[in-house]
Structure 1
Amino acid sequence: MAEETKYTEDNIRSLDWKEHIRMRPGMYIGKLGDGTSADDGIYILLKEVLDNSIDEFVMGSGKTIEVSIQGTRVIVRDYGRGIPLGKVVDVVSKMNTGGKYDSRAFKKSVGLNGVGTKAVNALSEYFRVESSRDGKSAAAEFERGNLKDEEFLEETSRRKGTKITFIPDEAIFKNYKFRNEYVARMLKNYVYLNPGLTIVFNGEKFYSENGLKDLLGDRIAETDILYPIIHLRGDDIEVALTHSRTQYSEEYHSFVNGQNTTQGGTHLAAFREAVVKTVREFYNKNYDASDIRKSIVSAISIKVMEPVFESQTKTKLGSTDMGGELPTVRTYINDFLKTKLDNYLHKNAETADKLQRKILQAERERTELSGIRKLAKERAKKASLHNKKLRDCRIHLTDSKKERNLESTLFITEGDSASGSITKSRDVNTQAVFSLRGKPLNSYNMSKKIVYENEEFNLLQSALNIEESMGDLRYNNIVIATDADVDGMHIRLLLITFFLQFFPELIKEGHLYILETPLFRVRNKKKTIYCYSEQERRNAIEELTGKPEITRFKGLGEISPDEFKHFIGDSIRLAPIMLDEAISIEEILQFYMGKNTPDRQKFIINNLKVELDPVLEN
């Protein structure tokens, strides 16, 4: 019989606030990550600090926020009222301390839980807070949440406001790096939601006069807009929408109290429903909901009193009520669109005509596709019973109440050997594998019909669960894992073309990546170093001295499962696929995948870099 474990007072342990945050960071900031993804922890730390500065602007204090990121050091300076000087330490280091518990002052604030800056403090190897008000200032410095130094000045010439400096702790965020593209997008969202606010990021100014209308204007190329952006505003709601000429799928940007709800929630569901209802009533036709919403590009922002979110990082709204005397979220949004959108369409006959023609075109395309779609669904259903292409994981992005749902990843691999290596070394909870057979089709300039006719594309679409809506996406990260040779590069290009052509929001919303795998293994009897570039190889040889063994990996299938787990675990290296919003998707595809061979040839010749294989050189 097994010995009984003793359970006494010695087994009971109380963690103080900072120990708890450091032990369970996922509860406070979602996933950790290394800065490769827009929802990685280092950006949540920045957001938590910024939210307090934004709240000051909303309360009418401080029209400029300065953000500086140099390497790992982040500085956020606002010109708001400044933290009360006697509470500077408490506000950033005592749980449940803050000014936002007084609902009268911050009825529709973002950071209501009193945890934000405390989490930043606990998860930073260096944290400094400075507050200036009434000609005086106070400051405090911390290390991993522990107070190290306090200052108090009776007189200061500094302008009023708060300045926070922090360096995320490398013991928690391994090998992290801030990507300016993600920071810039976050800051742009803040200015769209707060017209009149200026944010200066490393010297670059972001400012918006027209709110969500500017957001859509920046996210969709002018040549792709079907009709002028419809922009509607109410007391606690703002909406912008148009339809794309070329995009197949629906695209939504949703916000609650200034928070980007990337996973939607009750407000987005209500908005999608209200658009359909209003359009049907305006034309007095019972159009199919998917035809009305096909190619829609839109944004909605609402303000809710004391909102309830479905996760700590506030990416999905759970509230059903607007708060106070206001009706439910669903009724409020429905009534707003029923009045404002209906009025707009009555006053703008040309827009109403273009919208109706777009709906009729979607209806025709759906009818043409209906037969093949039915066959494809039956094929996918049969295949899913014994689908050898997909080796699924246990936790998916749609499981918003599960702690690791943001880590859900689908690796798209080529060939059996690479699929086998990844499958044997993956985390079965959060990592799934989809295996391609040979090269996918070049889908450029093809209609949606090809997605259903081509078994590979149909099964991939089915695995991702994105046919009906991006809101049903099953994996937060879609990772193309191909060899770093000519064939592997070609497969990457064909897959990116497929996603750009039919599901561009996957890329726009930062879900698509390339898996970086090591080119070399350099080792001696004591140490093994994996190198991702020629420079890293040189550094490794220098570090190991003597004559270390150098192996050049030619393909993923050569890497054993035992080694592979190092490359898709905590130290995974991903290269995000990002879109230049200044260039339309049509232009990108036309240049790289179209029939303009001479132009492409000229581009390749002008940009070609030749690197000899260093192993062969030696």
Structure 2
Amino acid sequence: MCAKKYDNESIRALKGAARVRKRPAVIFGSDGIDGCEHSMFEILSNSIDEAREGFGDTIIITRFLDNSIEVEDFGRGIPVDYNEHEKKYNWELVFCELYAGGKYKNNTGGDYEYSLGLNGLGACATQYSSEYMDVEVLRDGYKYELHFEAGENIDGMKKTKFRHRHTGTTIRWKPDIKVFTDIDIPLDFYKETLRRQAVVNSGVKFVLKNEISKEEFEEFEFLYENGIVDYIKELTEEKEFTGVHYIETERSGRDREDLPEYKLKMSFAFCFDNEFSTTEYYHNSSFLEYGGSPDKAVRNAFVYAIDQYLKANNKYNKSEGKIQYSDVQDSLVLVSNSYSTMTSYENQTKKAINNKFIQDAMTEFLREQLAIYFIENKMDADKICNQVLVNKRSRETAEKTRINVKKKLGGNLDVANRVKKFVDCRSKDPEKREVYIVEGDSALGACKLGRDSEFQAIIPLRGKILNCLKAEYDRIFNSDVIVDLLRVLGCGVEIKSKHNKDLSSFDLNNLRWNKVIICTDADVDGYQIRTLVLTMIYRLVPTLIEKGFVYIAESPLYEITSKKKTYFAYNEQEKSEILSKLEGQKYSIQRSKGLGENQPDMMWLTTMNPETRRLIKVTPCDVIKTQETFDLLLGDNLAGRKEHIAENGHQYIEMADVS
């Protein structure tokens, strides 16, 4: 096989637009929709920088049906005329030259003290990656117009005298499908991006126009007069248990002794909430999805300050371990908004910063301010620290539960790992197998003798099952009855708790049964056991109910015998219908026996034979309604339960086992 030639002529350099068009992911982080979205933000960020400097308080973004985009601002207008220093037109530098712009002077952001874009890549890279781009600039008494196609300027710059009422820049472009694999930026991305920018640029109004048909637009506005404070109140719906606390400062420093000094401006707003928690970091208006320096500072400062308060006020139990950040984070709602004249982003997508000075300055400031806040707000400090301890202890309990459940539910259900008194069937086909959950050993005996052992298995309940609606997870999984039922089902558990997210191990594909049949006596005790089992399934494996795997075996209420023939009535109406047919004949009638008293053939006929049994599929049409019903019957709503019994109890008085 001949080797490919590799010599001095093999090296090539991409030039002009090809540097972006052939490798968009290098600049935008992706050649997919994420990269396309980032290219839009590059243009938007230039308008934001102008507004932050005090030039224009409104930015208008238009999303067109053909996937083209327009950003209009009312700033000073991009300088695009001839640049004597560079011996080029500024439009060439801004739109056709990577690493060129007005933010390089003296390492301080040039004409922008705090700038979102510092690298001089965004406008040029977006132009290069566009099918076309039209630029209109109003400044200095002129209107400047530029047109680009596939990264190339067409016909230079058009400059005309113009009496403009305001200055500003309008850029309309269409991302090129030849560059990006997807250019249909979702409306929700625009909304989320503009909402975030309104949060960190207080007083700047962002108007989003979305074209829904030819020349018909829907409009959205985003404005936060008080910035991150208003945003936090919106997030918590003002249900926080401590008021929103706002702090800000400015610092100067350097990342290393041999590097230049730069400025940092930072602000934080935070509160504590039992129902909602989030931390969001913004730097130079860019949302830091991965945080970096600000996130490290918040983690360090909050753990340090709260730990110090807990120690000083003797709130830890004896030998209790130190809190972790997750214990704080569970109740913390915090938004940081910072700006610096120099910024080290992890990459051009600006999802994290890694400046050492910024991290150190934020850590020191937060530690200092939290200490003051705790001294001046003793009641809030106690609330915060007590809640953090609650979170810590819940987490530790959850960890013990996780280990316990993993140990108990792990492994295969075989001879060496057998569930006590569980009677399996011969078939290994989950599409045919069904398991009966029965009450007690006597029912087990009758069902075992009356079943079809090819496809019907039985597990008896040993003792009263726990009310899973009210119990904590650690107590639930300490119940052998519940653990055994889960092991027999085989599909794991579904956990809905912030401390037990990693405990959820549910996999419907591992369900070992086509039908899970709850089989209890037709009396008050039987109904209660049935409800408790359903509650357990609803709390721990609700998907089985939603997907229709759970059934109730309906037991006959009456046995009516006439001329050696027995009829079964499952309710009062059926009893009346049978008796009307036996009119004039001798018959005897009695309440049906408990399952454990039935003969095997009777058990097969009434409860287990697929041809003659009656099964009720448990299919909640509304999960919320089901939850409310369970809560009413078994939860803490005592007043509601009393009212329900008063209104409906008469319907079941005949079933009551009272004398």
- TM (norm. structure 1) is 0.59
Kept after mapping to 1: 8 A contact 2:374/2:380: yes
Kept after mapping to 1: 8 A contact 2:28/2:349: yes
Deviation at 1:265, TM superposition (A): 0.7
Aligned mates of 1:447, 1:76 — CA distance in 2? 41
Stretches of structure 2 lacking an aligned partner (at least 5 in a row): 82-89, 210-218, 251-264, 317-321, 413-429, 431-488, 508-541, 548-621, 631-659
What's the % identity of the aligned pairs?
25
Query: Which of 280, 292, 305 is the aligned partner of 1:278?
Result: 305
Query: Which of 68, 71, 75 is the aligned partner of 2:70?
Result: 75
Which residue of structure 1 lines up, in the alignment, with residue 56 of structure 2? 62
Which residue of structure 2 lines up, in the alignment, with residue 51 of structure 1? 45
Which residue of structure 2 lines up, in the alignment, with residue 291 of structure 1? 327
**Secondary structure class of the residue paired with 1:234:** strand
Which residue of structure 2 lines up, in the alignment, with residue 23 of structure 1? 22
Aligned mates of 2:98, 2:544 — CA distance in 1? 47
Which residue of structure 1 lines up, in the alignment, with residue 171 of structure 2? 164
Which residue of structure 2 lines up, in the alignment, with residue 192 of structure 1? 199
Amino acid in the other structure paired with 1:62? G
Which residue of structure 2 lines up, in the alignment, with residue 315 of structure 1? 351
Amino acid in the other structure paired with 1:122? Y
More displaced 10-residue stretch of structure 1: 230-239 or 372-381: 372-381
Query: Which of 212, 229, 237 is the aligned partner of 1:213?
Result: 229
Stretches of structure 1 lacking an aligned partner (at least 5 in a row): 35-39, 323-328, 384-414, 416-436, 458-489, 496-588, 598-618
Aligned mates of 2:237, 2:544 — CA distance in 1? 25
Query: Which of 266, 280, 295 is the aligned partner of 1:253?
Result: 280
Which residue of structure 2 lines up, in the alignment, with residue 93 of structure 1? 96
Kept after mapping to 2: 8 A contact 1:89/1:140: no
Aligned mates of 1:68, 1:596 — CA distance in 2? 48
Kept after mapping to 2: 8 A contact 1:88/1:129: no
Aligned mates of 1:178, 1:592 — CA distance in 2? 38
Kept after mapping to 1: 8 A contact 2:395/2:499: no
Classify 1:443/1:175 alpha carbon distance in 2 versus 1 (closer, same or farther; 3 Å): same
Query: Which of 616, 628, 640 is the aligned partner of 1:595?
Result: 628
More displaced 10-residue stretch of structure 1: 15-24 or 88-97: 88-97
**Secondary structure class of the residue paired with 1:17:** coil
**Secondary structure class of the residue paired with 1:99:** coil
Matched, 1:303 2:319: no
Deviation at 1:343, TM superposition (A): 2.4
User: For each residue in 1:68-118, what CA deviation from the matched residue of structure 2 results, as whole angstroms up to 9, or x when unmatched?
Assistant: 112212111111111113122431111222101112423431211111011
Aligned mates of 1:52, 1:270 — CA distance in 2? 28
Aligned mates of 2:492, 2:103 — CA distance in 1? 53
Kept after mapping to 2: 8 A contact 1:135/1:157: yes
**Secondary structure class of the residue paired with 1:66:** strand
Deviation at 1:381, TM superposition (A): 12
Aligned 1:124-273 pairs, distance under 5 A = 124-149=130-155, 150-157=157-164, 159-202=166-209, 203-223=219-239, 225-235=240-250, 236-247=265-276, 251-273=278-300
Deviation at 1:127, TM superposition (A): 0.7
**Secondary structure class of the residue paired with 1:314:** coil
**Secondary structure class of the residue paired with 1:241:** strand
User: For each residue in 1:29-74, what CA deviation from the matched residue of structure 2 results, as whole angstroms up to 9, or x when unmatched?
Assistant: 112334xxxxx12221121001111111222211111111122121
Quote the RMSD (CA, aligned, Å).
3.4
Classify 1:455/1:313 alpha carbon distance in 2 versus 1 (closer, same or farther; 3 Å): same
User: For each residue in 1:370-401, what CA deviation from the matched residue of structure 2 results, as whole angstroms up to 9, or x when unmatched?
Assistant: 42344568899999xxxxxxxxxxxxxxxxxx
Aligned mates of 1:116, 1:493 — CA distance in 2? 52
Query: Which of 340, 356, 360 is the aligned partner of 2:389?
Result: 360
Kept after mapping to 2: 8 A contact 1:95/1:115: yes
**Secondary structure class of the residue paired with 1:170:** coil
Deviation at 1:369, TM superposition (A): 2.6
Classify 1:146/1:378 alpha carbon distance in 2 versus 1 (closer, same or farther; 3 Å): farther
Aligned mates of 2:51, 2:284 — CA distance in 1? 13
Aligned mates of 1:378, 1:440 — CA distance in 2? 12
Aligned mates of 1:41, 1:217 — CA distance in 2? 32
Deviation at 1:451, TM superposition (A): 4.6
Aligned mates of 2:224, 2:64 — CA distance in 1? 25
- Matched residues, number: 403
Amino acid in the other structure paired with 1:352? A
Deviation at 1:167, TM superposition (A): 0.9
Aligned 1:1-16 pairs, distance under 5 A = 2-16=1-15
**Secondary structure class of the residue paired with 2:32:** coil
Aligned mates of 1:369, 1:442 — CA distance in 2? 14
Amino acid in the other structure paired with 1:298? L
Amino acid in the other structure paired with 2:16? W
Deviation at 1:132, TM superposition (A): 1.0
User: For each residue in 1:202-221, what CA deviation from the matched residue of structure 2 results, as whole angstroms up to 9, or x when unmatched?
Assistant: 13221112221222233334
User: For each residue in 1:485-529, what CA deviation from the matched residue of structure 2 results, as whole angstroms up to 9, or x when unmatched?
Assistant: xxxxx969999xxxxxxxxxxxxxxxxxxxxxxxxxxxxxxxxxx
Amino acid in the other structure paired with 2:627? G
Query: Which of structures 1 and 2 has the larger relative contact order (alpha carbons within 8 angstroms, sep 6+)?
Result: 1
* Greater C-alpha radius of gyration: 2
Kept after mapping to 2: 8 A contact 1:268/1:300: no
**Secondary structure class of the residue paired with 2:268:** strand
User: For each residue in 1:128-154, what CA deviation from the matched residue of structure 2 results, as whole angstroms up to 9, or x when unmatched?
Assistant: 111111211211111121112431112
Aligned mates of 1:321, 1:353 — CA distance in 2? 32
Aligned mates of 2:70, 2:271 — CA distance in 1? 37
Aligned mates of 1:162, 1:308 — CA distance in 2? 28
Amino acid in the other structure paired with 1:141? H
